Amino acid sequence: MSVSLDDASFSATLREMRALRDEFQRFLLEYRFGLQEVETKIAILRDEFQHMHDYNPIEHVTSRVKSPDSLTEKVSRKGIEPDFAAIRRHITDVAGIRVTVSFVADAYRLFDLLTAQDDISVRAVKDYIARPKANGYKSLHAIVEVPVFLSTGRVDVPVEVQFRTIAMDFWASLEHKIYYKYDRQVPAGLLASLKDAADTAAELDARMERLHHQVHGAAETPPAPPPRPLAV
């Protein structure tokens, strides 16, 4: 059976596409493993708090690795060269984990405990709790780097970790839905209402933390590590 040049060309193209797909999957797998490492560390902290202090500062944890479509869109939007080395250098939120905590103090406490571990390196911190965004968004963002040991050797993987309270998380979820609904062209009046809601959420956080200390007292809450300045 003879094979035409068109058939041979198609087969070669198909092999290239499969090779690229497999390389993309291997690339994302590193981030999935890095995410698992950080998730395990947070789960250990949560369980240790529960058993040793009878106190759980973590309400829930969510995580994700960007989908190929989402990553490709971000590479295009930011004008990054479409190769894996460039993506590693310029995109640090391929893997992300969100830790929703009970109180603002818990966000800083968990950040300190996680980043104090000797196999965690901190690449960047953006403290939107101390310095909220103009629209009212509050959260503590950290890009940490964790080693992953593969059959081919060690790979240091960046993972974005976000710490926020329940009130901050609820506000951010609502804000995201509104921006999506209006295709990011949100009317000025609605933006003002969102900012007011963010201020109200911050007041609620402060009141609930005061109530917590009044009911339980500082003795029942494990002490936070000594405060240290966060690089922004």
pLDDT band at 66 (very low <50, low <70, confident <90, very high): very high
Res. 135: pLDDT tops 70:
yes
Predicted local distance difference test score (pLDDT) of residue 12: 56
Predicted local distance difference test score (pLDDT) of residue 193: 84
Catalytic hit among 30, 37, 160, 175: 160
Give the tokens for residue 140. Answer: 């503590």
Chain segment 155-201, per-residue pLDDT in tens: 999 999 999 999 999 989 888 888 777 776 777 877 888 888 889 88
Res. 19: pLDDT tops 90:
no
Active site residue 145: no
- 66-78 exposure pattern, b = at least 16 Cβ within 10 A, e = fewer: beeeebeebbeee
* pTM greater than 0.95 (yes/no): no
Question: For residue 183, is it left (φ>0), alpha (ψ between -120 and 50) or beta?
Answer: left
